[in-house]
Amino acid sequence: MTLPEAFVARTVRDLGADEAAALCAALDTAPAVSVRLNPAKTAAQGVPRVADGAAPVPWCAEGRYLDSRPSFTLDAAFHAGAYYVQEASSQFVGRLVGDIAGRRVLDLCAAPGGKTTLYASLAGTEGLVVANEIDRRRVQALCDNVRRWGTGNVAVTCCDPRTVCDAEAWFDAVAVDAPCSGEGMFRKDDEARAAWSEGNVRLCAARQDEILAEAWRALRPGGTLVYSTCTFNREEDEGTLARFARSVGGELTESDRVAVDPAWGIVCGREGAFQTFRFFPHRARGEGFFAAVARKADDAPGRSRLPRGRRQPIAAVDRAAAAELRRWVAEPDAMRFGSAGDCCYGWYEAQAEAVAALSSALPVVYSGVAMGQLFKGRLKPDAALALFAGMERGALPGAELSDEEALRYLRRQEIDAARLAEGMNLVGCEGRPLGFAKRIGGRVNNLYPNAWRILKN
How does pLDDT run across 9-29, given as a tens digit for each residue? 999 999 999 999 999 999 999
The answer, yes or no, to whether the previous bond of 313 is cis (omega within 30 of 0) is: no
Read off the pLDDT of residues 100-109 as tens digits, 9 standing for 90 and up: 999 999 999 9
Read off the pLDDT of residues 166-185 as tens digits, 9 standing for 90 and up: 999 999 999 999 999 999 99
- Strand ordering across the sheet containing 55-56: 55-56, 63-66, 33-37, 83-84
According to DSSP, the residues that pair with 32 across neighbouring strands are none
Identify which of 117, 165, 163 has the alpha carbon closest to the alpha carbon of residue 143.
117
Instruction: List the beta strands (DSSP E) in 169-280.
Output: 171-177, 219-229, 252-253, 267-271, 274-279
Residues 143 and 366: beta-carbon distance below 8 Å? yes
Identify which of 214, 210, 240, 217 has the alpha carbon closest to the alpha carbon of residue 227.
240
Residues 214 and 167: beta-carbon distance below 8 Å? no
Asked if pLDDT for residue 299 goes beyond 90, the answer is yes
**Ordered domains of the chain (ranges, CATH):** 5-296 (3.40.50.150), 397-457 (3.10.450.720)
At 347, which amino acid appears? W
Average pLDDT over residues 449-453: 96
Using CB atoms within 10 Å of the CB of residue 272, give its burial: 0 to 12 exposed, 13 to 18 middle, 19+ buried: middle
Percentage of residues of the chain with pLDDT beyond 70: 100
pLDDT-based confidence at residue 1 (cuts at 50, 70, 90): confident
Report the C-alpha gap between 267 and 152 in whole angstroms. 36
Average pLDDT over residues 394-398: 96
Asked if pLDDT for residue 300 goes beyond 90, the answer is yes
pLDDT of 457 reads: 75
Claim: this prediction has a pTM higher than 0.95: yes
Asked if pLDDT for residue 42 goes beyond 90, the answer is yes
Q: N- to C-terminal Cα distance for the chain?
A: 29
Residues 91 and 60: beta-carbon distance below 8 Å? yes
**Would you call 230 a catalytic residue per the annotation?**
yes
Residues 114 and 120: beta-carbon distance below 8 Å? no
- The angle at the Cα of 430, spanning 88 to 33, to the nearest 5 degrees, equals 15
Average pLDDT over residues 291-304: 95
Buried b (16+ CB within 10 A) or exposed e, 352-362: bebbbbbbbbb
Compute the mean pLDDT over every residue in the chain, rounded to the nearest whole number. Answer: 96
Report the C-alpha gap between 119 and 93 in whole angstroms. 9
- CB under 8 Å to 457, separation ≥6 — which residues? none
pLDDT-based confidence at residue 309 (cuts at 50, 70, 90): confident
pLDDT-based confidence at residue 310 (cuts at 50, 70, 90): confident
Q: At what angle do helices 17-26 and 5-15 cross, to 10 degrees?
A: 130
Residues 166 and 307: beta-carbon distance below 8 Å? yes
Read off the pLDDT of residues 133-171 as tens digits, 9 standing for 90 and up: 999 999 999 999 999 999 999 999 999 999 999 999 999
pLDDT-based confidence at residue 44 (cuts at 50, 70, 90): confident
Average pLDDT over residues 230-240: 97
Q: Give the active site residue among 230, 268, 343, 429.
A: 230
